[in-house]
Amino acid sequence: MDSMTTHASGERDPASVAPLELSPGGLPPSQLPAFLLPVGGPVALRRWAVASLVANIVIVVTGALVRLTASGLGCPTWPRCTDESYVSHPALGIHGAIEFGNRLLTFALVVVAVLTWVAAMLHRDGGRRRRDLRWIAAGLALGIPAQAVIGGISVLTQLNPFVVALHLLVSMVLIALSVWLVRRTRSLPARPAGRGGVLAARATFVLTWAAVWLGTVVTGSGPHAGDAGAARTGFDGALVTQLHAWAVYSAVAATAVAVWLLRSRAAVLVLAVEVLQATIGLAQYHLGLPVVLVLLHLLGASLAVAAATNLHFSVRRRRPTDVAVTSSSPVERRLPVA
């Protein structure tokens, strides 16, 4: 017998009908085809956002491995690996295998980006669509093919250092977009803070990007060109290294101010990554740029961009509608920013 209450007329009591099961994303799981559950389930978009972040960091590290092993021209042309084949072959040796392997990882990144976009299209928040999430996911999905084309141009230009630098910077932009998507899918709000704290967070973000950009200039002027015959920028290596160092010191100083004014985990995280990154950078410089340390430095740059982006989106200026703080001490600015 039906467990729900029925009237004498045979009609079910509306009050006794079980409510439709809704996921936190707003889509009824029972209405999703089985093949859509990985991208349309209750927490699907959250997971795919994290997957996008991890994948974009991994591709930076593998791309660095290609350059550091002098495998940048392991596949001497693009989009084919050779004029006759899309895949590597034994005659290209280990360099061909490394470069072709990195190209294959791009396809994995495309899959992650597309599935993230599909998850964003299916996502509902209280029954409504989230256009902001769709736009960010679309930016990630379109950014990966654009990144592949830039990588191809770098091969066709025999690893022009400026094109190689652009290739890395686009990856950093995709990492920043991924962090933004992660925050949005988890509804992490920007907390109100005083003017000084917000300015310190913004300065940290800008100076981190300046340090990363100058880092690509240093790389383009140094020994790890990606191939023995690749051109260099022609800049004074010592000068650009000094400029890069000053950008790093400035970013650390701005972050230290943000830590003091905000007292937030986001600011502390940035400072921790920057200190570790600066330590690796100094060590690699004084030890003659060993491959392992340079690889860790590229990983650190990715994490620094991710952490600085998280800090940037974690704070905003106070508004008149925010709860007023009467204390005049620095404690009034110590807000629990995520």
User: Quick check: 327 pLDDT over 90?
Assistant: no
Q: Do residues 148 and 194 share a domain?
A: no
User: Quick check: 216 pLDDT over 80?
Assistant: yes
On whether the CB atoms of residues 45 and 123 are closer than 8 A, the answer is yes
| Residue 85 CA to its chain's centroid (Å) | 33
- What pTM does this model have? 0.84
Q: Do residues 140 and 196 share a domain?
A: no
Res. 39 pLDDT band, cuts 50 70 90? confident
Q: How many residues does the chain have?
A: 338
Give domain status of residue 328, yes or no.
yes
Res. 36 pLDDT band, cuts 50 70 90? low
What pLDDT score does 13 carry?
46
Model confidence over 274-297: pLDDT tens digits? 999 999 989 988 898 888 999 999
Final residue in a domain of this structure, among 141, 158, 187: 187
Give domain status of residue 292, yes or no.
yes
CA distances from 47 to 25, 166, 190, 264, 285 (A): 12, 29, 21, 25, 38
Q: What is the number of structural domains in the chain?
A: 2
Model confidence over 51-110: pLDDT tens digits? 999 999 999 999 999 988 989 999 999 999 999 999 998 889 999 999 999 999 999 999
User: Quick check: 42 pLDDT over 60?
Assistant: yes
Q: Do residues 175 and 95 share a domain?
A: yes
Which of 32-36, 68-72, 164-168, 196-200 has the least mean pLDDT? Answer: 32-36
**Residues pairing with 317 in the sheet:** 193
Final residue in a domain of this structure, among 187, 204, 236: 187
Domain span at 315: 189-338
Q: Do residues 71 and 92 share a domain?
A: yes
Q: Do residues 82 and 173 share a domain?
A: yes
Final residue in a domain of this structure, among 130, 159, 187: 187
Q: Do residues 221 and 94 share a domain?
A: no
Give domain status of residue 19, yes or no.
no
Q: Do residues 127 and 101 share a domain?
A: yes
What pLDDT score does 248 carry?
95
Give domain status of residue 6, yes or no.
no
Give domain status of residue 65, yes or no.
yes
What pLDDT score does 89 carry?
87
Share of the chain above pLDDT 90, in %: 64
Q: Do residues 143 and 242 share a domain?
A: no
What pLDDT score does 15 carry?
43
Q: What is the mean pLDDT of the chain?
A: 85
Q: Do residues 236 and 262 share a domain?
A: yes
Distance between CA atoms of residues 265 and 195, nearest Å: 18
Q: Do residues 206 and 145 share a domain?
A: no
Which of 109-113, 129-133, 248-252, 311-315 has the least mean pLDDT? Answer: 129-133
What pLDDT score does 25 carry?
52
Q: Do residues 134 and 165 share a domain?
A: yes
User: Quick check: 172 pLDDT over 50?
Assistant: yes
Straight-line distance from the first to the last Cα atom of the chain, in angstroms, rounded to the nearest whole number? 51
What pLDDT score does 29 carry?
54
Res. 329 pLDDT band, cuts 50 70 90? very low
Q: Which amino acid is at 167?
A: H
